Amino acid sequence: MASLRRALLVAGKTKLNLENCHFITGINYNGLTVKQLQELRGILRENSNTKLLVAKNTLVFKALEGTKWESLKPCMKGMNAWIFVQTEDIPAALKTFIDFQKEKKLFDNNLGGAVFEEKLYAPQDYKVIETMPSRADVYGMMFGALHWPALDLVNTLEAPGASETESAAA
């Protein structure tokens, strides 16, 4: 009975973590101490609104079944902890984990596969995600691209009026 209760609790936590989730990845946690996992959980939460869940792969998959995250199934091998990124700044969340990994010299605890926008990414594809600009950066680029042509148009439209004012003043 207690194991069933625990399974339901893990499934419920997983479903809660899926709400507002933008990215999921697994990490091999074999060899990490409880203290290191707690520290990582705290760092991820405060730096990037990211949650870390240590649970059996089968329980996590049961919660993912029938959702847009279901393509993560091939990555559910070994001892995994699951990272749920609940912010659109995914590169910052990945950087937080990678910095922690380097600081603690945990080179055996690599990121596994991930799902982003319903697409499965292998670990070697992470460079694409890590270098992706944040939403704020994209908005800034779009604003800059729209701002200068509009400013040039305003200046062009005001130019005839400005030259008439200058000649009247002379």
Q: What is the mean pLDDT of the chain?
A: 82
Assign residue 155 a region (left: φ > 0; alpha: ψ between -120 and 50; beta: otherwise).
Answer: alpha
**pLDDT bracket for residue 145 (50, 70, 90):** confident
**pLDDT bracket for residue 111 (50, 70, 90):** confident
**pLDDT bracket for residue 162 (50, 70, 90):** low
pLDDT of residue 91: 85
Instruction: Please give the average per-residue pLDDT across 94-99, as a whole number.
Output: 86
Instruction: Please give the average per-residue pLDDT across 136-161, as a whole number.
Output: 76
Q: What CA–CA distance (Å, rounded) separates 157 from 33?
A: 67
Least confident piece of the model among 36-40, 147-151, 166-170: 166-170
Token pair recorded at residue 12: 């419920």
